[in-house]
Structure 1
């Protein structure tokens, strides 16, 4: 009974911890959890003298693991690159930053993720904010940094559609402003937006621009603001 109770409590704690992880980090969290559980099982088998059962089981699974392990390890490495603090490999992810927000766009899935880098909510991931916190953050961005406000509006549009605007009592009346970009881009910022490495060729820049515009073009339900920044990044790098 004590062992069963401990297992149930551990399972509940693991479930709550996993649910609180940002969606973009959940695959890595699941892998970490699986490794922890596997280690604990190994320790229990070693203490109880039943380790030979594990070896027999692994021998049975060896042909399957031999085929699947390389792809699993490859997925783990790519997931760690995207979720860590380093730049993702060229062509996989773009980053656009304002003074308050830093946003990433995955080229393959088209999903956006973001983090607050300045202000009262500094360090918070956008995936973890409540509806009220989104509106508070939006008001703060509008008062302090137009670029960050446009980024947050883009994120909210892609995540919630137009439904969030019904609760936005302070939405700007100047609709044309949504398509305007901020200040001039540096070469480093332009590379980040297109997901390229320094020294990218003209052909790579054009291909990255075309790929990004397919994801965020306003005609495809994308963002005027991001489309403007992507066009500006191309002009900056090719100019």
Structure 2
């Protein structure tokens, strides 16, 4: 009974800790928990004299581990240290007057930082629901592009649930306007949006555009704003 209670308590603590991680940190966090759980199981089996069961299990799972383990070691564990960087071309960056946002091509996860205003320097993942709505009001007052980009982030992170607490949405006053209200894109901005390096070929630009549109196209539950910016970036680089 004490062992069962300990397992329940540890499981609840691990679940709460995992929920508090940002989306980009959850995969490394799951791997950490799996490693800790594995070590804990080995210790318990050794103390209770049942370690031979582990060897039987490993022998049974060996064919599966032989195929799965290399992928885990090369992909997942690399991020456990927290210092792993996305490969070049795996992220896109969109900046407005108030926000800077990154979109991971593989996971579709967005992350961002506030560049200007009362919350300047803060990371979006650290904001509470009330702070998100306060930031959204500020963006709507100061810069339309920033407001639309933040709405895109909120949609991808929370779905439609945040709109129930948004007074402007409740009153039918969502931000609108053209995607390039902040002016034409520069070449560097277009490259950042498509996640390309300077000197990218026409074929690389077309492939990057196609890959990103598959992630963010409105028909696939994506964002009108991001889709417009991606189209604009392609036109700028191919024009």
TM-score (norm 2): 0.74
Residues 24-60 of structure 1 deviation map (CA, whole Å, 9 limit, x = unaligned):
4323221110011112333444566654543343233
Alpha-carbon distance in structure 2 between the residues aligned to 1:84 and 1:186: 30
Gaps of 5+ in 1: none
Alpha-carbon distance in structure 2 between the residues aligned to 1:199 and 1:4: 60
Q: CA-atom RMSD, angstroms?
A: 3.7
Aligned to 1:137: 135
1:153 to 140, 151, 154: 151
Deviation at 1:17?
A: 0.8
Asked if structure 2 preserves the Cα contact closer than 8 Å seen for 1:180 and 1:225, the reply is: no
Aligned to 2:65: 65
TM-score (norm 1): 0.74
Asked if structure 2 preserves the Cα contact closer than 8 Å seen for 1:95 and 1:104, the reply is: yes
Alpha-carbon distance in structure 1 between the residues aligned to 2:222 and 2:57: 50
Alpha-carbon distance in structure 1 between the residues aligned to 2:216 and 2:60: 48
Deviation at 1:142?
A: 2.5
Deviation at 1:20?
A: 1.9
Aligned residues: 233
Aligned to 2:230: 230
- Equivalent residue runs for 1:62-141 within 5 Å: 62-76=62-76, 80=79, 86-90=85-89, 92-107=90-105, 111-118=108-115, 119-120=118-119, 122-125=122-125, 129-130=128-129, 132-141=130-139
- Equivalent residue runs for 1:20-59 within 5 Å: 20-46=20-46, 51-59=51-59
- Equivalent residue runs for 1:194-213 within 5 Å: 194-213=194-213
Alpha-carbon distance in structure 2 between the residues aligned to 1:16 and 1:175: 35
Deviation at 1:179?
A: 2.9
Asked if structure 2 preserves the Cα contact closer than 8 Å seen for 1:178 and 1:224, the reply is: no
Aligned to 1:13: 13
Indicate the SS of the match to 1:37: helix
Alpha-carbon distance in structure 2 between the residues aligned to 1:48 and 1:145: 64
Deviation at 1:75?
A: 4.3
Indicate the SS of the match to 1:177: coil
Deviation at 1:23?
A: 3.5
Q: Is the alpha carbon distance of 1:186 and 1:230 closer, same or farther for their aligned partners in structure 2, counting shifts above 3 Å?
A: same
Asked if structure 2 preserves the Cα contact closer than 8 Å seen for 1:195 and 1:208, the reply is: yes
Asked if structure 2 preserves the Cα contact closer than 8 Å seen for 1:150 and 1:178, the reply is: no
Q: Is the alpha carbon distance of 1:209 and 1:41 closer, same or farther for their aligned partners in structure 2, counting shifts above 3 Å?
A: same
